[in-house]
Structure formats: C-alpha cells, structure tokens
C-alpha cells in the first residue's frame, strides 16, 4: 500500500497532470461562457430567423412513453452553434498567434566563434603548404 501511495503521489506531482487539471478547470469555465453565448445571444437570433419555433415541445407517444425528439433537435442545434462559435474563436486565436510571431524578430543564428590563436596559426600553415 505504501508503494501505491508513493507512486500515486509521484504521478499527481508530474507537471503534465497538473497542466491537464488546469486545462479541465479552464475548459469548464469556458464552457459556461460558450453556452451562454449560444443560448442567450445566437439562439434568439436563430429563433427570429426560423419564426420563433421551439423544438422542445415536439414529441410523440408510444404507449405510456413520451419521445421528446424536439429536445434532441435543440441539443443538435446547440452543438452545431457551439462548434461554429469555437471554430471562429480558435481561428481568431490562431490569427493573433500568427501576427504575434511575425512581429517578434527572428533570432539570428549565432556567429561562429573566432578561432583561437593556435587555430589561426594552423590555418596559416595549411595555406602556406598548399602553395
């Protein structure tokens, strides 16, 4: 049991696990923003375009069961709108990153170090021997 606890502690302490945890937390918060954008801003605009149709009321019954296919249609629409919004957000971030990279000066390759006095002497001797 001590080995398990030690291994688990090492696993949790690794940087990639902590980074993933932060990403999940940020993703959860970002999801709330995207859901609000879709439900409160884009959704009503789509509702105006399609004549205020509320799909959630659409259903049919089989025996005592009520199949609420309208909720499924709403979920699909919400998914597609969310995917479109995320596409444009990621596209904007990529464009910003591209512009940022263009503004940063490119690092020049480091110049070759000056040869030592001994190396200069050897080069001179080599050149004299060639002649």
Tokens encoding 4? 């398990």
How many other CB atoms sit within 10 Å of the CB of residue 38? 21
**CA trace torsion 51, 44, 35, 82 (10° rounding):** 50
Q: Whats the size of the chain, residue-wise?
A: 131
CA distances from 109 to 103, 112, 115, 120 (A): 18, 9, 17, 23
Domains of the chain: 2-106 (1.10.1200)
pLDDT number for residue 106: 66
Q: Do the beta carbons of residue 72 and residue 55 sit within 8 Å?
A: no
The token pair at 68 is 């609420």
**Banded pLDDT at 113 (limits 50, 70, 90):** confident
pLDDT at 53: 67
Question: Which of 7-21, 24-38, 43-57, 96-110 has the largest mean confidence?
Answer: 24-38
> With contact defined as beta carbons under 8 Å apart, do 74 and 55 qualify?
yes
Is pLDDT of 49 > 80?
yes
Q: Hey, how many other C-beta atoms are within 10 angstroms of the C-beta on 39?
A: 14
Using DSSP, how many helices (H) and how many strands (E) does the chain show? 5, 2
pLDDT of residue 96 exceeding 70:
yes
Residue 74's pLDDT band (cuts 50, 70, 90) = confident
């Amino acid at each position: 049991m001590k080995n398990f606890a030690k291994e688990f502690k090492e696993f949790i302490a690794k940087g990639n696990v902590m980074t993933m945890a932060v990403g999940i937390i940020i993703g959860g918060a970002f999801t709330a923003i995207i859901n609000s954008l879709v439900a409160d801003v884009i959704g009503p605009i789509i509702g105006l375009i399609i004549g205020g149709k509320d799909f959630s009321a659409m259903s049919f019954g089989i025996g005592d069961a009520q199949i609420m296919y309208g909720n499924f249609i709403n979920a699909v629409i919400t998914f597609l709108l969310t995917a479109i919004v995320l596409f444009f957000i990621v596209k904007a971030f990529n464009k910003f990153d591209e512009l940022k990279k263009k503004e940063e000066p490119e690092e020049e390759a480091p110049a070759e170090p000056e040869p030592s006095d001994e190396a200069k002497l050897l080069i001179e001797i080599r050149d004299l021997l060639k002649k």
